[in-house]
A and B are shown apart, each in its own frame.
Chain A
């Protein structure tokens, strides 16, 4: 079992839809939970991160962490064609390196 599992998609939604992206993980020691956005042929861009459980909101983006279920989510409200990209979840504990999921490819259709 991989430490971090993420459905690779692809996921296709109409403009304006609410998008839900998810990851599960097996290592209960993870403390930090990140979401990165990666456009084609570019490096990943940090969207937001959460420490431990709870929610965090930044504009149209909301990150949720449920440590009891080992499940994290990223919600995108009012999705735009410019949101079309691959979304990577990543996790770490303490000083250890980031462990990434495979990424979910999202297309928002105008």
Chain B
């Protein structure tokens, strides 16, 4: 069984730039959730994708957008980067939200630094 993988591991961007982060879900999982974890804080929910459709969104502005592909891998895109976007971005995969989606398995994260 393959776990959740994320790329890249680290990224440094300049304020105003755009970034794309990638996630491959665990084998058999069709749901991907993205979280932002600032230093010293717990993860905060950004949005979830289920079968290529957005299935819930947290309190993040529209410049945070996502995509899920037919193989259930996913991308997180952030436009017009701000200094406060510096954080660890985590992706978690799970089974169908309505049935077995309680257990979410996290990837190692992408550490984004905005200067």
Complex interface residues of chain A between 90 and 106 (CB less than 8 A to chain B): 90, 92, 95-103
| Interface stretch of the complex, out of B64-72, B74-82, B103-111 | B103-111
Chain B residue contacts of A46, Cβ below 8 A = 103-106
Q: Does B62 contact A (CB under 8 A)?
A: no
Known contacts A8-B40, A44-B90, A46-B103; A98/B108 CB under 8 A? no
Are A102 and B41 in contact, with the CB atoms below 8 A? yes
A61 to chain B, nearest CB (A): 16
Q: Does A88 contact B (CB under 8 A)?
A: yes
Chain A residue contacts of B109, Cβ below 8 A = 42-43
Chain B residue contacts of A45, Cβ below 8 A = 106
Range class of the B interface residue count = 20 to 34
Q: Does B33 contact A (CB under 8 A)?
A: yes
Which of A4, A43, A92 contacts B106 (CB under 8 A)? A43
Are A49 and B106 in contact, with the CB atoms below 8 A? no
Docked CA distance A32–B35 (Å) = 18
Q: Does A73 contact B (CB under 8 A)?
A: no
Which of A43, A95, A101 contacts B42 (CB under 8 A)? A101
Task: Give the number of residue pairs across the A-B interface with Cβ within 8 Å.
Answer: 56
Q: Does A6 contact B (CB under 8 A)?
A: yes
Are B101 and A49 in contact, with the CB atoms below 8 A? no
Q: Does B58 contact A (CB under 8 A)?
A: yes
Are A43 and B90 in contact, with the CB atoms below 8 A? yes
- 14 more A-B residue pairs beyond the given contacts A4-B42, A49-B102, A103-B42, with a C-beta to C-beta distance below 8 A: A32-B102, A36-B106, A43-B108, A44-B90, A46-B106, A49-B103, A92-B102, A95-B56, A97-B45, A97-B56, A99-B45, A102-B42, A103-B40, A103-B41
A-B contact pairs, 29 of them (CB 8 A): A4-B42, A6-B42, A43-B4, A43-B90, A43-B106, A44-B90, A45-B106, A46-B103, A46-B105, A49-B102, A51-B102, A88-B42, A88-B43, A90-B42, A95-B56, A95-B97, A97-B45, A97-B56, A98-B33, A98-B35, A98-B43, A98-B45, A98-B104, A100-B44, A101-B42, A102-B40, A102-B41, A103-B41, A103-B42
